[in-house]
């Protein structure tokens, strides 16, 4: 069964450093998303991306965040200058046009020290 | 912002028991989804609901989209050890809006 894959599974970084989280969405999907989950809390929407542009973003997704689809298969989330409070699980998801069910990857655990 | 209130927060049951959890909101949803999350993993879709009043089953799982479009429940019958995990409801509020709003989750623990 097709799946969303995310790398790395765990990223440790120093505060102030830039990180790039990578995702390979399901191949025929057109909509891509990033969510985050702080330890023990609910999953929160960050951003959605369609047709090479952001279609919706939350208040969490400030100027420190950016997304990119650098080629036909990858979808990335960049955090420009990480803060301690950015420590969380980051989930990528994708959906096709028709049913809009979002399928999630296994996540990247980001630890900011 | 939009809020989904999910209850209960946690459940401790015996293997074989039935389970029921629900989500409510003050907002109207046009899609309800139920996901399960195992430790260290991403949410895995269990059931998707698209119409008010819709009742859908997936094996031992049954979920319904409330007729007011503001609530949904998930039932698990005859629980087994692999049902352990965190169950999240999620929904889309505005027609065409992409983001999912998640509930706080129900942590299910099963005593063998």
Confidence at residue A103, expressed as pLDDT on a 0 to 100 scale: 92
Residues A25, A109: Cα–Cα separation, whole Å: 18
- The B residues from 10 to 49 touching A (CB cutoff 8 Å) are 31, 33, 35, 40-45, 48
Q: Which of A43, A53, A109 to mutate to test the interface with B (most CBs of B within 10 A)?
A: A43
Start-end of H helices in chain A: none
Confidence at residue A111, expressed as pLDDT on a 0 to 100 scale: 97
Confidence at residue B2, expressed as pLDDT on a 0 to 100 scale: 65
Cβ–Cβ under 8 Å, residues A34 and A94: no
CA distance A17 to chain B (A): 24
Residues B40, B35: Cα–Cα separation, whole Å: 14
Q: Tell if the CB–CB gap between A56 and B48 is shorter than 8 Å.
A: no
CA-only gyration radius of chain A, Å:
13
Structure tokens at A100: 């809009």
A103 neighbourhood in chain B, CB within 8 Å: 45
Taking chain B (112 residues) in consecutive chunks of 10 residues, what is each chunk's mean pLDDT? 86 96 92 92 93 95 95 97 95 79 94 83
Confidence at residue B107, expressed as pLDDT on a 0 to 100 scale: 95
- Which residues, given as ranges, of chain A have pLDDT below 70? 98-99
């Amino acid at each position: 069964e097709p799946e969303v894959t995310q790398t790395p599974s765990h990223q440790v970084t120093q505060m102030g450093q830039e990180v790039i989280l990578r995702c390979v969405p399901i191949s025929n999907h057109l909509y891509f998303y990033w969510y985050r989950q702080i330890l023990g809390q609910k999953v929160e929407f960050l951003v959605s991306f369609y047709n090479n542009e952001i279609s919706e973003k939350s208040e969490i997704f400030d100027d420190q965040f950016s997304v990119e689809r650098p080629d036909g298969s990858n979808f990335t989330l960049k955090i420009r200058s990480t803060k301690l409070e950015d420590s969380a699980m980051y989930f990528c998801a994708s959906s096709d046009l028709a049913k809009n069910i979002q399928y999630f990857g296994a996540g990247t655990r980001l630890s900011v020290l | 912002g939009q809020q989904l209130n999910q209850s209960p927060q946690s459940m401790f049951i015996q293997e074989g028991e039935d389970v029921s959890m629900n989500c409510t909101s003050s907002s109207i949803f046009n899609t309800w989804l139920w996901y399960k999350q195992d430790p260290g993993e991403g949410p895995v879709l269990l059931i998707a609901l698209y119409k008010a009043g819709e009742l859908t089953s997936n094996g031992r799982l049954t979920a319904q989209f409330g007729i007011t479009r503001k609530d949904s429940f998930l039932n698990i019958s005859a629980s087994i050890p692999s049902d352990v995990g965190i169950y999240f409801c999620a929904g889309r509020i505005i027609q065409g809006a992409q983001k999912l709003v998640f509930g706080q989750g129900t942590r299910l623990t099963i005593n063998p």
